[in-house]
Structure 1
């Protein structure tokens, strides 16, 4: 399963686009699912439920502090049993993202993918991503 952590202005439309394209995708947010309208049944605030079949984690959170919570802190998704890929879509300092490689288990691919585009671009599934990481993993 593909999981989107952070279903705000950008994450929720990304989740909707993945689902429209036929991907098995679920969202996680600290807000309750009832706040997500048509996506309510596809968003959870339950860490264990979200982690259960999580293979690819896409983080779409605001900053380093929230990224830390998602990966190592309150949610700790970097230790989910089936995770093989983490894609960081937040715009974070390159040195911070490089440092993540030392903190994330070696069997997990780490891709830096900050995005460009406004909320309307996310809603229309036309965001641009700047990709960084190991060539084979990209």
Structure 2
């Protein structure tokens, strides 16, 4: 896809905004839409064009990128009134939201014949979105993936083609299950150590120098949890949703995976207890309450 491509970017939140800005830095023409007027103003101030609606953004765009909260919102934006048909025939849809793989395949079936679809969710958080160093998991045909690669490369340093449409979102859910399980293990380890009289920071230091090291111990415990900042930029409700997506996928495939089920149940309860809008590193507060 050449730099002359017109890109509609729908969803300029904490992750979407830096991703859209990286496309601008790479020389692409970006027209954005978001329900937040502040986000639209911020994009305009950085050289992007803004649209009055998602439909207006899609009109005439060679590429549509959706970075929204879930697949149901994506479907409502694209399908209501056949809005996706405002884009030229054979335009490329990059569905980068955290959606369920079954929803993605359903959406692709509904828009096929007019749009080419690649699901391409990301992992890495706000800092890596700003840096352009996200990990990106893509699902789609070889031809559509190759067409999308130059655009994805402006937002991500690590791009993995996982298979046909839907496999990107399946991989994202699987990844977040492992991430969420790692948070549970790290927080419980720190709370266990503290109860025995160990210094919490010392527990983290030893884990990070030993076989217990994981993403939570490396980039979350000291930086966001023990520091008390709780500012990773990823909401607890979104983590719970992604892990539940993995659990639902497992059930639909007839698998019995008690570890996944229990992890999903814990994150769902944490979201109910603390509220889904809080940072996911607040899971520490949830588990701490269980032991008090």
Shorter-chain TM band: 0.7 to 0.9
Relative to total residues, which structure has the larger strand share, 1 or 2?
1
- Note closer, same or farther for the CA distance 1:17–1:77 as it changes in structure 2 (3 Å cut): farther
Instruction: Give the one of 54, 67, 72 matched to 1:65.
Output: 72
2:253 corresponds in structure 1 to: none
Residues 1:80 and 2:70 are matched in the alignment: no
**Matches of 1:107 and 1:64, distance apart in 2:** 19
What are the equivalent positions in structure 2 for 1:49-128 lying under 5 Å apart?
49-73=56-80, 76-82=82-88, 84-128=91-135
The structure showing larger relative contact order (alpha-carbon pairs under 8 Å, at least 6 residues apart) is 1
For the pair shown, the structure with the greater C-alpha radius of gyration is 2
Distance 1:109 1:53 in 2: 15
Tell me if the contact between 1:116 and 1:129 (Cα under 8 Å) persists in the aligned partners: yes
The equivalent residue for 1:39 is: 43
Counterpart-to-counterpart distance in 2, 1:35 and 1:112: 24
Three-state SS of the structure 2 residue aligned to 1:72 is: helix
- Paired residues, number: 136
- Give the secondary structure class of the aligned counterpart of 1:110: strand
Q: What is the CA–CA distance in structure 2 between the aligned matches of 1:35 and 1:115, rounded to whole Å? A: 20
Give unmatched runs, 5+ long, in structure 2.
1-5, 146-292
Native 8 Å contact 1:15 1:26 kept in 2: no
Q: Cα RMSD over matched residues?
A: 2.0
The TM-score normalised by the length of structure 1 is: 0.86
Contact 1:31 1:45 in 2 (8 A): no
Per-residue CA distance 1:45-65 (angstroms, 9 max, x = gap): 334542332110010000122
The 3 A distance-change label for structure 1 pair 68 and 19 is same
Q: TM-score, normalised by structure 2?
A: 0.43
2:141 match: secondary structure? coil
